Chains A and B, each alone.
Chain A
């Protein structure tokens, strides 16, 4: 995996006429994770989108070395296509040889249209899409939402393997994130 680093200096985020957080700086090194916590609406998702480069920061700058992959509430899979074909679109785009359906417990669902998947199954499919992308920086927005205990364990395991391989993970979640060596960032500390 390519060398990666993620840092941000003096970030501020404005939504509408509210500044959600300001003077936020962070740095995540290869092989480590950052757990972003905070109440609903405090800007966790916005922070992840700013780090991904999808949302312009109101102030400050993000330095990202390495591609970013994002999981949010939308799996980004064509709803009418069978799961295997919807994922095949991304694996073609990302030049991946295989899609880890079995690993994610989706082996039997390859022929099922994406719109028939449950919330948890769709989340597992989103993880498959993320793995296929092979990006060194993982940005996970509420990755455990909708997952059962086994699924949440699997998500944790996959994130652990990603970190062991030298990747970076930034997780926005209410749930405790039980990987050792994870730094925590409480967004409430930067509220304005």
Chain B
């Protein structure tokens, strides 16, 4: 098995499995809880719910993606894993690329599945749900890349987790605008822009995170 496959196996066991850093289910429950609270908060008017429902799902997805940030980079930096990988000639950028994929697997597909009950709670119709799902498919990889990058930037800082959440939110605004914007009438091009924003984030993230980890090593 190549080094990257071994790293991916470890990342998946850590982020998906029952391990310390597992708890994939928590962001999903959080996501559904937000969708469930909305009808209570704004009232059961179906028209209103349908209008705000898609946007609510997007905001909930963004917030749910923030939950696992503290488990992404910090523990490995603290335990000296990154140093040991560097000694073996495994570039930080490769480790990060693998980590982004594992992190996405940990929250992307679960959120896409959880969007179905969330849409039911908000009374969204079939075509809207389809657009939401396509948007999440396009947007969550970008959210994963952004999350890992910010986690790398804030690893080792005091209050790093809270800071990471605060940093992710403004940086995720383009994804949110294009993703949720695709739900507006005639907003289908939003999906393409959302996917494009995701691709840019995915391309930049390994290098930005790698630089952050090298700087943190100092």
Which A residues have a C-beta under 8 Å from some C-beta of B?
A: 52-55, 67-70, 72, 74-81, 89-90, 92-94, 129, 133, 135
Contacts and interface: CB of A to CB of B under 8 A. Distances in A.
- Interface-central residue, B1, B3, B19, B84, by most chain A CB under 10 Å: B84
Contacts of A54: 83, 86-87, 217
A167 B180 CA distance: 60
B20 interface: yes
Interface string B89-129: 10000000000000000000000000000000000000000
B28 interface: no
B79 A80 contact: no
B186 interface: no
B6 interface: yes
Contacts of B84: 70, 76, 90, 129
A79 B20 contact: yes
Contact of B6 (A75, A81, A92): A92
B88 A94 contact: yes
A80 B88 contact: no
B87 A67 contact: yes
Contact of B83 (A76, A94, A129, A135): A76
Interface of B: 1, 3, 6-7, 10, 14, 19-21, 78-81, 83-84, 86-89, 217-218
A132 B19 CA distance: 24
Pick the 6 closest A-B CB pairs, nearest first: A74-B80, A80-B20, A76-B80, A76-B84, A92-B6, A93-B6
Contacts of B10: 78, 89
B14 A93 contact: no
A74 B87 CA distance: 14
B79 A79 contact: yes
B6 A89 contact: yes
Contacts of A52: 83, 87
Contacts of B83: 52, 54, 70, 72, 74, 76
A67 B79 contact: no
Nearest to A73: B80
A81 B19 contact: yes
B88 A78 contact: no
A92 B10 CA distance: 11
Nearest to A81: B19
Given A54-B217, A74-B80, A92-B6, A80 B87 contact: no
Given A53-B86, A76-B81, 17 more contacts: A52-B83, A54-B83, A54-B86, A67-B88, A70-B83, A70-B84, A72-B83, A74-B79, A75-B80, A78-B10, A79-B79, A80-B20, A81-B19, A89-B10, A90-B84, A93-B6, A93-B7
Nearest to B89: A67
Contact of B87 (A55, A68, A81): A68
A45 B87 CA distance: 16
A2 to B, nearest CB: 14
A119 to B, nearest CB: 15
